[in-house]
Amino acid sequence: MPYPPRRQTIRRCAVVGGGIIGVAVARELATTLDGVQVTIYEKENRLAAHQTGHNSGVVHAGLYYEPGGLKARLCRRGVELLQEFCATKNLPYEACGKLVIAQTPEESTRLDTIFARATANGVPGVRMLGGEQIHEVEPNAVGLSALHSPETAIVDYTAITEALAGDVRATGGTIRLGQEVVALEQQASGVVVTTKDGGEHYDLVVVCAGLQSDRLAEATGESATPKIVPFFGQYFLVGPEARHQVKGLIYPVPDPKHPFLGVHLTKRIDGEMMLGPNAFISLGRESYAWNKVTLRDVASYALFPGFWNFARQNVPSAVREFQTVVSRKKFIREAMRFVPSLEGASILPGTRGVRAQAMNSDGSLVDDFVIARRRDTVLVRNAPSPGATSSMAIAEYIVEQALQD
């Protein structure tokens, strides 16, 4: 897309973070700005090592988001760009469809509101179903009513990230793995990016640091809030004898009393069927194993008043989520509310992810995307779901904002 001119010529750009958003931003810079040199800094030894490589692979259609908000706009644009990119690169993209199923009259009323939002957001093909119609889409699913989104899809976000990185390299860009950024210093013009190997000067720096985004924002002089509070999500896999009982995605109706969605069923692009995730406070921002504790990360939220405000306001939710953490049977029963025929199916441990949940000082969760600008630095401070879906659209938005004086 065409971008407005910027008085200061950009020749050297750095992107901090090698997840899908960071790599998409680097690609957008490299393929749209003439003569630019782009460098990606990623502290791990591979791309997509954290949230990108631990999510469910869903391409969200834009059902839930406030019409006109950044999430709604960038999600719909992101779907278009992602679908086109996957077709161009011959990457798998399966529109398996999604049902959001209401089990009670109260949930049916909330589902009507979601349908209205989805319609306002231009979600293609979305429709409401009565209980008897659910079987036409998912023969083994049950419920009082449902919203059907036939265009909701699944992909492999790690493969997409690698393909985006291939385009960065093809334009002469550099990807520095194992390079953790420890400081960002604004100069009279441009920014010095410092790692353990020293500092380099860039005309523009975009920070897409996910789980570490608040720390790097503080390093530029930005506010300490919103603060990242990590919540882990555990998935299980349905055994091979039962995975074909569900054809696509089955979600519960979001409950405003709970900050997180709850257990749902998600088909994966490799044919596996996942149950989950739950959501509970993590003992580290990058703790993908039960026994990994990072004291610095625990202290970060334990000393944050906003976390305790959140905890006090969400005791029932914590109890609900903790039950699914300690009891696999409870976890499975949550899924069986939608697909009773899963009773007796074998359940295997799946992946575990950590969500970078941005939280305000009053304990409220930051819902929309938050992208801040500080002179020659652009900071992605919050990019929750549908962040991966929206990644290429977020990249367009960031580059457009960065090029404006």
Q: Bridge-partner residues for 176, per DSSP?
A: 41
- Whether residue 51 has pLDDT greater than 90: yes
Cβ atoms of residues 254 and 244 within 8 Å: no
Query: Shortest CA distance to 162 belongs to which of 347, 354, 316, 26?
Result: 26
pLDDT tens-digit series, residues 205-243:
999 999 999 999 999 999 999 999 999 999 999 999 999
* Dist. CA 345–CA 191, nearest whole Å: 55
* Dist. CA 258–CA 19, nearest whole Å: 28
How far lies 97's CA from each of 71, 246, 339, 366, in Å?
20, 11, 16, 28
Query: Shortest CA distance to 283 belongs to which of 224, 332, 352, 351?
Result: 352
Give long-range contacts, CB 8 A cutoff, 24+ apart: 75-80: 75/121, 75/386, 75/389, 75/390, 75/393, 76/121, 76/122, 76/123, 77/390, 77/393, 77/396, 78/386, 78/389, 78/390, 78/391, 78/392, 78/393, 78/394, 79/151, 79/153, 79/389
Is the CATH number of domain 1-94+153-224+368-405 3.50.50.60? Answer: yes
**pLDDT, position 1:** 53
- Whether residue 4 has pLDDT greater than 90: no
Cβ atoms of residues 16 and 177 within 8 Å: no
Quick check: helix, strand or coil at residue 267? Answer: strand
Q: Where are the beta strands (DSSP E) in 77-161?
A: 98-102, 127-130, 145-149, 153-154
Amino acid sitting at position 364: S
Model confidence band, residue 332 (pLDDT cutoffs 50, 70, 90): confident
pTM of the model: 0.95
pLDDT tens-digit series, residues 116-133:
999 999 999 999 999 999
- Whether residue 7 has pLDDT greater than 50: no
**pLDDT, position 291:** 86
CATH superfamily of this structure's domain 95-152+227-359: D-Amino Acid Oxidase, subunit A, domain 2 (3.30.9.10)
Domain boundaries, the chain: 1-94+153-224+368-405, 95-152+227-359
- Whether residue 269 has pLDDT greater than 60: yes
pLDDT tens-digit series, residues 298-321:
999 999 999 999 999 999 998 888
pLDDT tens-digit series, residues 340-363:
999 999 999 899 999 999 999 999
Q: Tell me whether the CATH fold assigned to 1-94+153-224+368-405 matches the one assigned to 95-152+227-359.
A: no
